[in-house]
Structures are given as C-alpha cells and as structure tokens.
Amino acid sequence: MKFWLVVLTTVGLGLLAGAGHVGVGTTFRLGLDAWDLALVGAALALPQGGPGAVFLNPAGLAYQGGLSALSSYGGQFAVASVSSLAVAIPWLGLGGVVVSSEPEDGGVAYHSEGAALGVGVPVAPGFALGGRLKVLHPVLPEEGWGWAVDLAALIQGPVYFGILVEGLLSQPAIPGEEWPVSASLGLGLDLPLPPPVVSRLALVVTGLGEDTPSGGLGVELWAGELGLRAGITSDTLAVGASLGWGMFRVHLAALLRPLAPTLRASLIVNF
C-alpha cells in the first residue's frame, strides 16, 4: 500500500513538461496521441499496437497488424501547440512531432521538431523487444541537432509489464544540456467485467534515474468501438473518449490542470 501511495503522490510531470529547452525524451512524450495522453502515459505496458507506439513504447510495434497512420493536434498549457504524425507497418513505425509556442506577452518563442524510427520484434509468445532512434531539431530560441537511442520491452499475460530505457546513447542538441539515461516502468491488468465490456487498469513510473521521478495511474473502459478512459498524476486529472467506425478511430483527451487545460485530438486510419 505504501508503494502505491508514493507513486500517486510523487511530484513531477516529465511527460507534460513545457517551456524552455527540453530533453529529447520530453519532446517526444509531448507527442503522445490522445489515447495515451488520457491515460497520462500509463499505457506504457498495454499492448495497443498502432502508430502511437512509436512515441510511447516501440516494443508495441511488434503487435502492429497492418498499415496504419496517426495524426494528432492539440494545445499545450494554453500557450503552445503540439502536432504529431506517425505511420506503422508490422514491426516498424516512423513518427514526427512539432512543439511550437509564441507567447502573446512577448516572452521567448519556442519551436522544436523531432523524428523517431521505432522497431518492435516479437521474441516469444507474449514477449516483445523494441528499439527507437530519436532525432531532435530545436529551432527557437536556439538551433541545434541531437539524437538518442532507446530500448524497450513488453510482456503480455495476466499482468502486463512494460519498460522503456531512454538515452542509452545520446548527443544533446544544445551545448550544456544534459540528457541523462532514464527508465520508465509500466504495469497493467485486465479488470473482471462481464463481456462485451473490456477494462484495464494501468500504472506508470517515469524518470527513474533522474532527480524527480513521477507516476501516473490510468483506467480504460471499452464497449465495442466506444472507449472511455481517465488518468491521474499528482496534480493532473485526464479524461478521454474514443469512437471507431470502419477503418477510422478518433481519440479525444483533456488534461485538467490548475495552471491551464491541455486538449488533444487524434485520428487513426487503418488501411
């Protein structure tokens, strides 16, 4: 019980950081699609597949069934915009993210671009390994280039387990920046609800190895092509909904924070 209380009250939102120069990991966590954002990143261990795995856990690409594309857009802290694109085929995914801010009060403008190539390989039934190369190009307030290599794993079973180690190898984009090696751990389990309802509970701890690790708890509920989800961190409540029809699925998410809300919409097309 003490462990769960520590996780739920840990301060920090590495996956929701905002202004100034940020490490390559934070920029790509800002690119999460609305499905993952509504779970505050706690879907790290869930075998969702799809292009969103490029940003969250590349090992999930091992469960990609065909060609699909993802497009996301939203406001970040009411002062910035975030957009991302990704495509995935079995085992492979390619994604890009752009974070941009032009404060109305004359503050420092911020613009950063990134691209990621992810690989997920099934090793055994219910077990997959993944890797990812991320390239970051900050443009404003200072231009530079940086890159990082991540490794990941995903286990499916009665309990889902995911791990992502970021920055095993890296080159910071701006002189003087530090991109430390960090790890994220995720756990998930199916909740015993009667069919056709499917529900999962998920937990994530991010930033292990850094000064301020953070945690989040999420839950999702599916009934056919209609999905509802919610997540919580130390200072954020997230809610979201999904609707699918045919080859399309739409995800919506809102982060309710004391400072300012964050909204995100994602469209996935399965070809």
Q: Give the amino acid at 112.
A: S
Which residue shows structure tokens 């809102």?
254
What is the value of pTM for the model shown?
0.83
Q: Which two tokens stand for residue 170?
A: 């890296």
CA angle, corner 46, sides to 75 and 1, nearest 5? 95
Task: Give the N- to C-terminal CA distance of the chain in Å, as an integer.
Answer: 45
Per-residue pLDDT of the chain (271 residues; tens, 9 = 90+): 322 222 222 222 233 333 233 456 677 888 888 999 999 989 999 877 689 999 999 999 999 889 999 999 988 666 778 899 999 999 999 999 998 887 766 667 888 899 999 999 999 999 999 999 999 998 888 888 999 999 999 998 889 999 999 999 988 888 878 788 889 999 999 998 888 898 999 999 988 887 788 899 999 999 988 999 999 988 789 999 999 999 999 999 998 877 677 889 999 999 9
Query: How far apart, in Å, are the Cα atoms of 33 and each of 52, 106, 132, 253?
Result: 6, 30, 17, 9
- Helix, strand and coil content of the chain, in percent to the nearest 5, comes to 15, 55, 30
Residues 6+ positions from 143 with CB-CB distance below 8 Å: 137
Give the max Cα distance, the chain: 55
3-state class (DSSP) for residue 7 = helix
* Residue range 2-270 in CATH 2.40.160.40: yes
Question: Is 214 within 8 Å of 208 (Cβ atoms)?
Answer: no
Q: Nearest-CA neighbor of 214 among 39, 29, 10?
A: 10
Q: Nearest-CA neighbor of 16 among 261, 268, 267?
A: 261
